[in-house]
Structure 1
Amino acid sequence: MVIAAVYFVIAVFGAVAFARVLDRQMEGPRLRAAWAGRTAEARCTGVRTEEVQDVEGVPVSLTHPTLQFRTDTGRIVAFEERQRQLDVAYGDVVTVYYDADAPEEATARVPSFMPRRARELVVGLGCAFALVTAVVLAGVL
């Protein structure tokens, strides 16, 4: 029984640690702050193309648009969008989301479920798995 309890505690801490790393990797804190803030219309002022290889070694072209917008306070901010799927051309206008305290961390990504809730889902599933396996382990011992 003690081994199962120790396993459960370690597994829960592991799930929480993994969820925090995954959340940072998916830029969750930055995106949630931007989505909770304000919106503005941004114009594409340039597009940088980058040639990379995917996991199978196939060449892929990635585009990174530079977007410029004006904050509520009148400050002009330009940033390069980190999202690869954003397909805009020079002069196009898109909606951006930004935190008033850090407008340079803006994003044109539309709010979505996974970046908002990935951390909670991973912790919940990890804890449920830890509980089930701890109960099985306690029954076996």
Structure 2
Amino acid sequence: MEAVFYAVPLVMIAFVAFAAVRLFGRSRQISSAWNSGLTAEGRCLRSYTTTSGGGNTSVSTTLHHVYEFTTRDGHTVRFEEANGPATVLEGDHVTVHYLADRPERATAHAPARGKLAAGTGCMLVFFGVFIALCVAFMFVTHVIFAESDGLMP
């Protein structure tokens, strides 16, 4: 029984750590694309929304765009990006920032380094607090079980 009180928080920590690594990685990709200095004129091929949640939870809607651009060496690249501006519609032309060696990791987000750093930092702090609460829960659980000789009070 005691193992459940350790396993569940550990699984939650693993998921949050995975999300933090993905968040940090995507932030680095976007920042690298902005810093590369390579830009191209792209075109929005499609925009659509996805929803999640419902029932007893709040509904969350995410706007996605599919872009296509041609690199300086003539390769046509198509990529999808979430959370783009709602003002970009199908057929609109946008400036795409990309890396020469990884053009598929492009972004059509306008450079906003402060906003990117603040958003990433806030999410990493949230993830850190969540992990700290999981560790505190495991510690308190350990203390309770140690004081009760393994029996639930």
Instruction: Please classify the TM superposition score into its range, dividing by the shorter chain length.
Output: 0.5 to 0.7
1:66·1:80 contact (CA, 8 Å) conserved in 2? yes
Aligned residue for 2:43? 43
Aligned residue for 1:28? 27
Structure showing greater relative contact order (alpha-carbon pairs closer than 8 Å, 6 or more residues apart): 1
The 5 A counterparts of 1:1-141 are 24-26=22-24, 27-37=26-36, 38-53=38-53, 57-82=57-82, 84-87=83-86, 88-112=88-112, 113-116=114-117
CA deviations over 1:73-115 (Å, ceiling 9, x no partner) = 1110000013x14222110111111001100000111222143
Q: 1:85 to 1:77 in 2, by over 3 A?
A: closer
Aligned residue for 1:14? none
Distance between the aligned counterparts of 1:62 and 1:24, measured in 2?
A: 18
4+ runs of 1 displaced by more than 6 Å?
none
- Partner AA of 1:43 in structure 2: R
SS, match of residue 73 in structure 2: coil
1:46·1:67 contact (CA, 8 Å) conserved in 2? yes
Distance between the aligned counterparts of 2:22 and 2:60, measured in 1?
A: 25
Distance between the aligned counterparts of 1:75 and 1:109, measured in 2?
A: 21
| Structure 2: segments with no counterpart, 5+ residues | 1-18, 125-153
Distance between the aligned counterparts of 1:41 and 1:103, measured in 2?
A: 13
TM-score if structure 2 supplies the norm length?
0.55
Q: How many pairs were matched up?
A: 104
TM-score if structure 1 supplies the norm length?
0.59
Distance between the aligned counterparts of 1:114 and 1:22, measured in 2?
A: 17
Q: CA deviation at 1:23?
A: 7.2
1:32·1:116 contact (CA, 8 Å) conserved in 2? no
CA deviations over 1:1-32 (Å, ceiling 9, x no partner) = xxxxxxxxxxxxxxxxxxxx857514222012
- Partner AA of 1:99 in structure 2: L
1:35·1:98 contact (CA, 8 Å) conserved in 2? yes
